[in-house]
Amino acid sequence: MTTERLDLARYADEITGQARRAAAELSLMTSGAKDAALGAAARAIRDSAAALKAENEKDLVAGRTAGLSTALLDRLELTDRRIEDMAAGLETVAALRDPVGEVITGWRLPNGLRIQKVRVPIGVILMIYESRPNVTADAAALTLKSGNACILRGGKEAVHSNLAIARILQKAIAEEGLPAAAINIVETTDRALVGNLLGMTGRIDLVIPRGGKALIARVASESTIPVLKHYEGICHTYVDEGADLEMAEQICLNAKVQRPGVCNAMETMLVHEKEAAAFLPRICRSMAAAGVELRGDEAARTICPDMKEAAEEDWSTEYLDLILSIKVVKSVEEAIGHIGTYGSGHSDAIVSRSMESIEKFTEGVDSSAVFVNASTRFNDGGQFGFGAEIGISTDKLHARGPVALEELTSYKYLVYGSGQLRE
Amino acid sequence: MTTERLDLARYADEITGQARRAAAELSLMTSGAKDAALGAAARAIRDSAAALKAENEKDLVAGRTAGLSTALLDRLELTDRRIEDMAAGLETVAALRDPVGEVITGWRLPNGLRIQKVRVPIGVILMIYESRPNVTADAAALTLKSGNACILRGGKEAVHSNLAIARILQKAIAEEGLPAAAINIVETTDRALVGNLLGMTGRIDLVIPRGGKALIARVASESTIPVLKHYEGICHTYVDEGADLEMAEQICLNAKVQRPGVCNAMETMLVHEKEAAAFLPRICRSMAAAGVELRGDEAARTICPDMKEAAEEDWSTEYLDLILSIKVVKSVEEAIGHIGTYGSGHSDAIVSRSMESIEKFTEGVDSSAVFVNASTRFNDGGQFGFGAEIGISTDKLHARGPVALEELTSYKYLVYGSGQLRE
């Protein structure tokens, strides 16, 4: 091993070692202590706005020099508004109910043993994320509140901002009596260290990559630690035979254009053939008016000849843009089949008045959230009432759909007896 | 690629393809249909006892030729009693409540959206297991009941028995209208195929290795698919200051000798120093009478000089045998610290009358089950009232402790609206 690699191994050992010790301490902290620390962290962020902007400026200068796109530079920038949002976010998490200690269920056995299934923290969570520096504060708040120590590894383009935020948080929580190592930030931008960390089973309990598909795929393929993935959202809305077409139009528009760049936005619209002639002209007009480029199958283009022809790859593309693919289907079964083949199991909706169609769709579509007469845009921890979220899981193990405080916990069984023996 | 490897890749593609199609069908089956199929499978197993024993004989002959140990040959053998137990096991699972479709929780949002969190199958589960052929029937029953398709890969020493059992089950469920490919068995004993399967993310949703530590470690290190692990049980019983020593003696004896070869048996006993002089002589006598070899630390050996000296590695050894390590501790905190350092997070117990000690122990010990005044041997799906289990998870993600029907499911959110749009 070269000295450099040895140094990385030593660094990984140190950061995970201190995180594990902090996690053990943190798991015994009261909600009151954790909430006070989050409150202090919020105040510290507000009080440090000027220093944060100075550090952020270093990233912005480096980003401009490196030729980052305007969009990326915008995501990178910490304005007064964004700093205030970060502080407010810490307070929001402090105000949420502590999931740790919740008795999920409990029962008594015939032999008198009393069993309680109790929520506990997971342990040490490694977060790997991309450009937005506010993720540093968001992730730290959610993991801390759920009793977990975190190791944060942000994008290298935001390194000064991320380090500055993490240092402020560490100092603030330490002053409130929490272990500073409840929040750890990776100081090196050496990508090799991530490889070290992803192999540290037993030291790190869960990895959450937050960013584009490529980042998530790379982390998942490299990690021997469980990874909670939020892959892409190829989301559908199916307009059923007999649907309220006014409602269908509003839902489809909302799902496509209200915020096209996010994972729960609609990418493909499926329309029952009996409604196509009535529905397609009106929805195409409103979509076009909203600036949406339309790509249809042959049947759709027969009715609306202006739209482009959809290619096979359109059905499996997450546009994250003002583009919509449209397909005419013969039945709810065909819609379900299309979603099963091309969808990503994220968010899919049916607009229908038929109990039979709705039953078939909700049973047959295997997605993290299935919507009936509502926009796919509601698949979100905030909208679901979870208060905050760290992402939307497309996994089926551990957590599916919005990942919030509960999803950042495990459980253990407490069994109370009076001398019971197994026969 | 050689022809052989190409053939394996094609085989892996076929078996996972048919499993996925069957899983989609199975997820829509009613409980009645699944239970009828399990009942038919039980009858078919009973009716095929002679044929099963004939196939099993082939494995036994091969095993004797290969020089398998008496213990392994015993585990391999299908007696009339074991065949009846297998059939009865299928009926037991049929009689359990179907977890699929359960509404785990539900609520209404301020905007009128109604959310239901509903239990759904996971999909395709790969089971990799060792010698006992009854696992073939057990695993097939639990996965089928929970709506999952399974791919079974048993040990090569039981290949004839496993294939015979799987064929009977497939035929029986197909006659009841279920897809035969809900149950798949790997026909080749070529270990390379396991490598192929463990890389098939997207085709297989979960891997459950069932067997020794080496098997589980190998599967976990090779798999890109989530693995549900049940690693070793280095289980402790801590006898607190002021404990009822008669109760402590019975609990420790039960935890050690009632069935020493299993994961929830005690391996280390921790005794508070204030009770050591009174407790150690009596427990050592009863343990010795039960044939248990004792290995103590210096303080324990001062009181009971007959016991061997425990080496450092004793504290982290899962004996699975009539051996017990013993340590004298100064406090409940020291006991908790020892368990945190050397334990495996499986099952740990405290015998105590002190509310304070019990609170500290149940909070501070991070194991899948923590027992108060009861034997660690109760950490078991059957004992917990789950009806059946596929193992005891030492993971903290997805499932922890006994893995039964509920733990073989995921969930999805169903969201019912009346035209709600996101603002």
For chain A, give the number of residues.
423
A-to-B residue pairs, Cβ atoms closer than 8 angstroms: 178
Give yes or no for a contact between B422 and A377, defined as CB atoms under 8 angstroms apart. Answer: yes
Partner residue facing A413 (CB), from B206, B368, B395: B368
Q: Which residue has the tokens 């089949």?
A: A337
CA separation for the pair B277, B140 (Å, rounded): 52
Q: Which residue has the tokens 């100081």?
A: A187
Residues 6+ apart with CB under 8 A from B185: B136, B151, B152, B153, B154, B162, B163, B166, B167
Give yes or no for a contact between A86 and A137, defined as CB atoms under 8 angstroms apart. Answer: yes
Cα-flanking dihedrals φ and ψ of residue A178, to 5°? -90, 155
- Kindly state the DSSP code that residue A391 receives in the 8-state scheme: E
**In the numeric block, which tokens belong to residue B181?**
């490919």
Average pLDDT over chain B, rounded to an integer: 96
SS3 content of chain B, % helix, strand, coil (to 5): 50, 20, 30
Beta bridge partners of B227: B207
Q: Does the structure show a pLDDT above 70 at A1?
A: no
Give yes or no for a contact between A104 and A132, defined as CB atoms under 8 angstroms apart. Answer: no
A251: pLDDT confidence band, cut at 50, 70 and 90? very high
Q: pLDDT tens digits for B62-92?
A: 999 999 999 899 999 999 999 999 999 999 9
Residue to mutate among A263, A413, A416, A423, with most B CBs inside 10 A, is A413
Give the pLDDT of residue B2. Answer: 65
B194: pLDDT confidence band, cut at 50, 70 and 90? very high
B409-420 vs A369-374, strand pairing mode: parallel
Contact assignment for B340 to A379 by CB distance below 8 Å: no
Contact assignment for A362 to B422 by CB distance below 8 Å: no
Give yes or no for a contact between A380 and A347, defined as CB atoms under 8 angstroms apart. Answer: no
CA separation for the pair B228, A398 (Å, rounded): 11
Residues 6+ apart with CB under 8 A from B75: B131, B132
Partner residue facing A374 (CB), from B113, B247, B397: B113
Q: Which helix (H) or strand (E) holds A185?
A: strand A183-185
At residue B183, the 3 state secondary structure works out as: strand
Partner residue facing B422 (CB), from A254, A396, A398: A254
Q: What is the ipTM of this complex?
A: 0.95
Cα–Cα nearest to B45, from B187, B206, B199, B170:
B170
**In the numeric block, which tokens belong to residue B353?**
């009358």
Contact assignment for A412 to B369 by CB distance below 8 Å: yes
At residue A257, the 3 state secondary structure works out as: helix
Contact assignment for A378 to B122 by CB distance below 8 Å: no
Domains observed in chain A:
3-229+402-414 (3.40.605.10), 235-381 (3.40.309.10)
In the sheet that A308-309 helps form, which strands lie side by side, from edge to edge? A308-309, A293-296, A323-329, A266-272, A235-239, A347-351, A369-374, B409-420, B114-121, B103-108
For B402, name the nearest residue in chain A, comparing CA atoms only. A413
Give yes or no for a contact between A121 and A148, defined as CB atoms under 8 angstroms apart. Answer: yes
Give yes or no for a contact between A375 and A257, defined as CB atoms under 8 angstroms apart. Answer: no
Residue to mutate among B228, B346, B378, with most A CBs inside 10 A, is B378
For B121, name the nearest residue in chain A, comparing CA atoms only. A396
The average pLDDT across A225-241 equals 94
CA separation for the pair A309, A324 (Å, rounded): 11
Contact assignment for B419 to A250 by CB distance below 8 Å: yes
B387: pLDDT confidence band, cut at 50, 70 and 90? confident
Q: Does the structure show a pLDDT above 80 at A216?
A: yes
Q: pLDDT tens digits for A41-85?
A: 999 999 999 999 999 999 999 999 999 999 899 999 999 999 999
> What stretches of B176-263 show up as alpha helix (H) in DSSP?
191-198, 213-222, 245-257
pTM for this structure?
A: 0.94
Contact assignment for B420 to A374 by CB distance below 8 Å: yes
The per-residue b/e assignment along B342-361, b for 16 or more CB within 10 angstroms, e otherwise, is bbbbbbbbbbbeeeebbebb
**In the numeric block, which tokens belong to residue B165?**
């059992």
For A423, name the nearest residue in chain B, comparing CA atoms only. B258
Which value, to the nearest 10 degrees, does the dihedral of the CA atoms of residues B172, B177, B183, B188 take? 70
Q: pLDDT tens digits for A269-325?
A: 999 999 999 999 999 999 999 999 999 999 999 999 999 999 999 999 999 999 999
The average pLDDT across A131-154 equals 95
Residues 6+ apart with CB under 8 A from B144: B26, B34, B37, B38, B150, B173, B178, B182, B183
Beta bridge partners of B392: B402
At residue A70, the 3 state secondary structure works out as: helix
Average pLDDT over chain A, rounded to an integer: 96
For A363, name the nearest residue in chain B, comparing CA atoms only. B28
**In the numeric block, which tokens belong to residue B382?**
């059957």
Cα-flanking dihedrals φ and ψ of residue B233, to 5°? -115, 100
Q: Which residue has the tokens 């299309």?
A: A338
Give the pLDDT of residue A2. Answer: 64
**In the numeric block, which tokens belong to residue B107?**
């609520």
More confidently predicted of A34 and A188: A34
A246 CB-contact burial (10 Å; exposed 0-12 / middle 13-18 / buried 19+):
exposed
CA separation for the pair B201, B226 (Å, rounded): 9
B5: pLDDT confidence band, cut at 50, 70 and 90? confident
Q: pLDDT tens digits for B254-273?
A: 999 999 999 999 999 999 99
Q: pLDDT tens digits for A327-358?
A: 999 999 999 999 999 999 999 999 999 999 99
